[in-house]
Structure 1
Amino acid sequence: MKHALAAALWLAGSSLALAQDESFPILFTNVHVFDGVNEQRIENANVLVQDNLIVEVSAEPLAVANARIIDGGGRTLMPGLIDAHVHMAITEPIADLRDNFDWMYWGATSTVEAEKMLLRGFTSVRDAGGPAMGLQKAIDRGKAVGPRIYPSGPVISQTSGHGEHRHYTEPHPNFEGSSPSFFNQHLEFLADGVPEVLRATREALRLGASQIKVMAGGGVSSSVDPLHTVQYLPEELEAAVKAAADYGTYVLVHVYNDESILRSIEAGVLSIDHAQLMTEVSAQAIKDADVWVVPYYSLLGLDEETVIKVLGPLSAPKFLEVQAGARNQMKLLKEFGIEKVVFSTDIIGDPAALTKQNDEFKYRLEEWSSYEVLLQATSKAGELLALSGKLNPYPEGPLGVIAEGAYADILLVDGNPVEDAMIMTDYENNFDLIMKDGVIYKNTLD
């Protein structure tokens, strides 16, 4: 089994040398269970794990032969966290990765950061574009350590769209005689017109995407697409949606403005990512269509001086415009009663910034309750991941919940995050146990 492979990996000196793979049951006792769904915790509960699944959750004592017993000491037992918009392979600036390093460097650095992400409590992520399929396979086969990854594969972008990172004089990768080396690293595909969009979508699926990522509007990190732009014609977006649907999965889009949001919804997109520049118009459309919204608010922690210094004169104004819309977006989502909101961070290009991933809880608490934010990071995110249908790489059980038959992705948290989710920001001191797929990667209780 894969657990035996995982156990054999831990080398002396590794930060995960103490990862424990149990062939016998694990019984958590004396815990208060936040199941990822209900606001009231199950007090003084017991949770039984066998292999990689939760097999019983009970308020009554459980007698299990040969079980390893872990006394939670009154801590909160809850589902592992889910970040629904990450880029596991873009852990350093895109320009450096593009121009100064080859794919071996990408793989090595992303593996290091994947382990750190798991130790921040994130047991599952949806990768929203990039060459994460190899990392996913390495983790699943026990050759690397990190969260479960739902990969989108290369992002699909129109020419001069948000997936456009060529130098000014660099030829188009789809034109005869050009050298598409950067694009062959499976970061992004440029596709124009229905036939090319269909080909790019199917190629991403061939590479192992569990859902498809399309750039449908302007963005910050690219230099040739202003925020106001609407990207892809309706028929191009519909082509990606239909091709994904033929494989039983869905499309998520990068968008900020109303026009891009509305066009995406009309095309059948199920996941609207970012959308900080939305107004009441698209809020109503999102509500009516009952689609998912995946915003990020960690950008609220950056001051203007830092933004200008880091992003430079071209991208900084765009970032500041998105930042200015973020709090208004939160208010609109609450005002319109939009409940399909999922936790995400979209931190790219900087390992130091990635250490602030859990700060996302802090900013969401400006508008949502602790319970609501926890839902966004657990069961609601799990529902979103499940939209990949038959392409779901982890079909044995649900994610984001503590329930019989669910994957054994578990945190033991010191305190009650349902009442105060701020404790989730201090993962080093407050996460006393981290389990993914029935394997313990951190345990301060023994």
Structure 2
Amino acid sequence: MKKHLTVTLLALTISIAASFSFAQEAAAPNRIMFTNVNVFDGVSKSLVKNTNVLVEDNLIAAVGVSIPKPEGAEVIDGGGRTLMPGLIDAHVHMTITESIADLRDNYDWMYWGAVSTIEAEKMLLRGFTSVRDAGGPAMGLQKAIDKGKAVGPRIYPSGPVISQTSGHGEHRHYTEPHPNFEGASPSFFNQHLEFLADGVPEVLRATREALRLGASQIKVMAGGGVSSSVDPLHTVQYLPEELEAAVKAAADWDTYVLVHVYNDEAILRSIDAGVLSIDHAQLMTEVSAKAIKKADVWVVPFFSLLGLDEETVRTALGPHAAPKFLKVQNGARNQMKLLKEYKIEKVAFSTDIIGSPAALTKQNDEFKYRLEAWSSHEVLMQATSKAGELLALSGKLNPYPAGPLGVIKEGAYADILLVDGNPVEDAMIMVDYENNFDLIMKDGVIYKNTLN
């Protein structure tokens, strides 16, 4: 009996030791070493030539010329290509992949989810490894991507946009009752895409509900817009105390508010309320430029609208929205001039393309239009390190806190592109992503590799 017990204990000990050894082996980091690459670190004006970058699991472990190759590491010879951070789009709508009218009336949530998942993978393959979603039910898509159930960029979700009644987040039919009225039944839109909130108590409730759903920052409609039908472009939306309520409720959770705005009055009111991210702002004048510079807040414009001619706009948007769009378009180049003239450095890359998978394929065209005002280096910074700084404003709600984004340095997330050519000298290279992006890595995982 004792002999049997001794043998059993010995077998158990060996089994435990083997399991421990296997666990140690399984825990060994996955290492990939890039050699023979020229590094754009997201900040510097010149490339670091002929260097190496070591990735361990999902982080960058080392950057340098003389990094020794770790045992068992996979080696990728970059062949003199540019190694740079993955791109960041600071204003997207991952779930608005069809026209708002169609999504509202003609498709169910299963369709939304299916198409959004397909488009998320395409966005990653355009080189965008992180995005800030500026409104919509993107939390489920974010979870699916983070759990490895779907492929796509990191998502910083804002959750449902917060809008006043008759604001830019208002998409009811004319005769449809207000979702907050007694006895009304909120639609899918009013539960997941946009909250209508009026007065401080409702704004507080809407902000806190978006945070409860998993928002990493809050999106508020603070001025008129193009795609909505009930709010003229000149309007200023939300009273100062309402905007301040959203800002304070977000700050209590260690995050911030971004606003949809175009004109001076809405921009100034938002800045006075403590908003940190002024999105769009194409109708700004010198008044706003001075205020933005003084307050040191972020501006997140988009310029791809410059590529649309008037006939295309009027055909696509119709008689109501087209004039609003054309007015915004006409203000865009003046906005570029003001941002440069007043040396506003906190400018992040964004595209705000909604409603069409075909239009989304033009996401990288944004580089082309920004080159009208900024150097290639400046535009690359806007799409990497500067956008990464903006994402980090989510503070303790940052869903990806293990390292910085938008940079190539030790401890940063391993979100990496290998680009054929030198985009620091010519950012037009970034437009043709299919031919010029030879490798795309996100979180240490390679999703595209045409080097072999």
Identity of aligned residues (%): 86
Residues 33 and 52 in structure 2, CA contact (< 8 A), matched pair in contact too: yes
Shift of 1:60: 2.1
Paired AA for residue 164 in structure 2: Q
1:71 matched to 2:77? The reply is yes
Match of 2:112 among 92, 100, 106: 106
* Structure 1 length-normalised TM: 0.95
Could you tell me which of 264, 269, 274 is aligned with 1:268? 274
Q: Could you tell me which amino acid in structure 2 is paired with residue 48 of structure 1?
A: L
Please give the alpha-carbon distance, in whole angstroms, between the structure 2 residues aligned to 1:28 and 1:437.
15
SS at match of 1:153: coil
Give the AA of the match of 1:98: R
Report if aligned partners of 1:42, 1:59 keep a CA contact under 8 Å in 2. no
SS of corresponding position for 1:435: strand
The question of whether the paired residues in 1 share the 8 Å contact of 2:190 and 2:196 is answered with: no
Letter of the aligned partner of 1:235 in structure 2? E
Corresponding position of 1:14: none
Distance apart, 1:24 and its partner CA: 2.5
Task: Give how far 1:192 is off.
Answer: 0.2
* Aligned Cα root-mean-square deviation (Å): 0.8
- After superposition, give the CA deviation of every residue in 1:84-125 in whole Å (9 maximum; x if it has no partner): 000000000010000011111110010000000000000000
The amino acid of 1:436's aligned partner reads K
| 1:219-241: CA deviation from partner (whole Å, max 9, x where unpaired) | 00001111100000000000000
Q: Which whole-Å CA distance do the structure 2 matches of 1:348 and 1:116 have between them?
A: 14
- Counterpart residue identity of residue 144, structure 1: A
The partner residue of 1:169 within 142, 159, 175 is: 175
Unaligned ranges ≥5, structure 1? 1-21
Q: Quote the residue 1:380 is aligned against.
A: 386
Task: Look up the match of 1:219.
Answer: 225
Q: Is residue 2:51 matched to residue 1:45?
A: yes
Residue 40 of structure 1: how far off its partner (Å): 1.4
AA aligned to 1:279 is: T
1:184 to partner: Cα distance: 4.5
The whole-number CA distance in structure 2 between the counterparts of 1:259 and 1:185 is: 30
Once residues 61 and 437 of structure 1 are traced to their aligned partners in structure 2, the CA distance between those partners, rounded to angstroms, is 21
* Displacement of 1:176: 1.1
Measured after TM superposition, the shift of residue 65 of structure 1 is 1.0
Aligned to 1:57: 63
- Indicate the SS of the match to 1:150: strand
Structure 2 CA distance for aligned equivalents of residues 70 and 406 of structure 1? 19
Preserved CA contact (<8 Å) 1:103 1:185: no
CA contact (8 A) 2:104 2:189 kept: no
d(CA) in 1 for partners of 2:116 and 2:306? Answer: 25
User: Structure 2 length normalisation: TM-score?
Assistant: 0.93
1:320 maps to which residue? 326
Whether 1:332 aligns to 2:338 is: yes
State yes or no: 1:236 paired with 2:256: no
Deviations 1:282-316 (A, max 9, x none): 00000000000000001001111110111111000
Q: Give the Å deviation of 1:61.
A: 4.5
Contact kept? 1:46, 1:62, Cα under 8 Å: no
Query: Structure 2 stretches of 5 or more lacking a match?
Result: 1-27
Give, as a single letter, the amino acid of the residue that structure 2 aligns with 1:397. G
Aligned to 1:4: none
CA shift digits 1:263-286 (9 cap, x unpaired):
000000000000000000000000
- Structure ID, larger Rg: 2
Preserved CA contact (<8 Å) 2:33 2:69: no
Task: Report whether the alignment pairs 1:359 with 2:365.
Answer: yes
- Of 349, 355, 361, the residue aligned with 2:355 is 349
Amino acid at match of 2:45: E
Q: What residue number does 2:140 align with?
A: 134
User: How many pairs were matched up?
Assistant: 425
SS class of match (1:226): coil
**Which residue is 1:155 aligned to?**
161
Shift of 1:170: 0.4
